[in-house]
Amino acid sequence: MQLARIVKVLCWVLLVIPLLTGCWDRLEIEERAVVLAIAIDEANPEAAEEENDVSHLRGEVPRSQKRMLRLTAQIAVPGRIPLGPAQGGGGSGEKPVWILDVVGHTVEDAIYNLQQEVADRLFLGHLRVIVVNERVARKGLQNMNDALRRNPEVRRAAWMVISKGEASEVVKLNPELERVPALYLLAVLDGAVKQGKMPNAFLGAFWSALTSKGQEAYLPYVEISKKRSILLSGLAYFRGDKLVGTTTPLEIGHFMAMKGINPGGYSALSDVPGQPGAVLFVSSDRTAKIDVNIKNGLPQVKAKVHIEGDLAEKSNAQFDLKDPKTITNIEKAMGTKAGKAFEELIHKTQKQGSDILGIGEIVRGKHSAYWNKSIQTKGKWQETYKEIPVKVDVTISIRRVGMKAQ
């Protein structure tokens, strides 16, 4: 009996010992080079002279990888990152980040070249923003997506954005409200989502759309405004992994309305039927429903969108907003105008075969027999999407007109 008890205790000890090994493979945070943001631009072929023999011998590069990329990394400097509002804005004047740029034939090749210049191990677990130059995106992001998706440190909650100009200038921007450029860009994107000015198009959602058969991907499209701030210029929409077009800022609101994404964060200036003035309508809530029917072997799409909001301003007119007829006329006029604008956005994406609304996924879900017989592949749907008729009906409800002091 005593022997059995001893054996039992020894078995428990042997089971527990592996759990007590602690941090045998730990890596102190001070021994890591924490990358907060990276930017990817095209580089001239002459930039190959800057490259050292790190991942390949000079001149021995596969033909398919002859192009050069320039990767700019924003690395946190230990002890200089502000931890609270008391250290924000001013501070000691020391730069909280270290910005390095290297060249490479692929993204991973450039990262290996970067590691050769940094003493500590590069750590991408805190990578928050990836900025890609528009020219690079138009040639395709397959290589970049492959490198980032294979890296277990890269979070799916990070942001990837497309820049109108040089991506490196975005990560080098020195904003007034934030000492760390990457955190400023992150605040711009997160704030836009909360205010209803941008869908939550984080990296994981982008990759999910890329693998979807009936939907194309989209990313925020940004540019530097007056060399001091970041402007959300629209959405960059893709066909496969290649950028094929961009929208205007207001068309972000059109897209979000057709997707039923809340809150409503955009405004519209509209004429008043029969009156010389105009009003400014600010949306607050949206609901949307997309119906698809198969007719003559082709999907027929009808979208119904309802937008609620308030009147924020009346300009150059003396008409009475207390009159229900006036409000009704404004609602009808704005609904007709919005419906045409929404259809124009869809037609723009149809020309490129980029179904960012996910109409193909609705067809797959509700008309699977038609999909399996006539579509089957993403490439086939990209061509079919160009031909389908789409009708958008928009209704507007003005909830409040506000009051003014007499």
Calculate mean pLDDT across residues 92-120.
85
Shared domain for 226 and 260, answered yes or no, is no
Count of domains forming the chain? 2
The string of pLDDT tens digits covering residues 150-160 is: 999 999 999 99
The string of pLDDT tens digits covering residues 25-82 is: 666 666 788 999 999 999 887 766 666 666 655 666 655 566 789 999 999 887 776 6
Residue 13 domain flag: no
Q: Which two tokens stand for residue 69?
A: 């990329």
CATH of the domain at 258: 3.30.300.210
> What pLDDT does residue 89 have?
44
Cis peptide before 249 (omega within 30 of 0): no
> What pLDDT does residue 57 have?
56
> What pLDDT does residue 400 have?
85
Please tell me which residue, 60 or 2, carries the higher pLDDT value.
2
Complete DSSP assignment for 84-110: SGGGSSSTTS--SEEEEEEEESSHHHH
Residue with the two structure tokens 């979000």:
256
Answer whether residue 86 shows pLDDT above 80: no
Shared domain for 266 and 227, answered yes or no, is no
The string of pLDDT tens digits covering residues 298-354 is: 999 999 999 999 988 877 667 777 778 888 988 999 999 999 999 999 999 999 999
Answer whether residue 176 shows pLDDT above 80: no
> What pLDDT does residue 166 have?
92
> What pLDDT does residue 85 have?
53
Residue 54 near residue 40, CB atoms below 8 Å = no
Lowest-confidence pick of 83-92, 257-266, 356-365: 83-92
Query: Widest CA span of the chain, in angstroms?
Result: 101
Residue 12 domain flag: no
Using the 3D structure, point to which of 246, 272, 296 is the last residue of a domain: 246
Shared domain for 242 and 313, answered yes or no, is no
Shared domain for 328 and 389, answered yes or no, is yes
Mean pLDDT in the chain? 86
> What pLDDT does residue 88 have?
45
Shared domain for 206 and 353, answered yes or no, is no
- CA-to-CA separations, 371 to 125, 298, 299, 376, 384, in angstroms, rounded: 40, 11, 10, 6, 11
> What pLDDT does residue 317 have?
64
Shared domain for 319 and 280, answered yes or no, is yes
Using the 3D structure, point to which of 213, 229, 246 is the last residue of a domain: 246
Rounded to two decimals, the pTM is 0.85
Shared domain for 206 and 278, answered yes or no, is no
Lowest-confidence pick of 6-10, 47-51, 160-164: 47-51
What single-letter amino acid sits at 210?
L
Give the domain extent around 281. 254-400
> What pLDDT does residue 90 have?
43
Shared domain for 163 and 38, answered yes or no, is yes
Shared domain for 278 and 239, answered yes or no, is no
Calculate mean pLDDT across residues 245-266.
92
Quick one: what percent of the chain has pLDDT higher than 90? 52
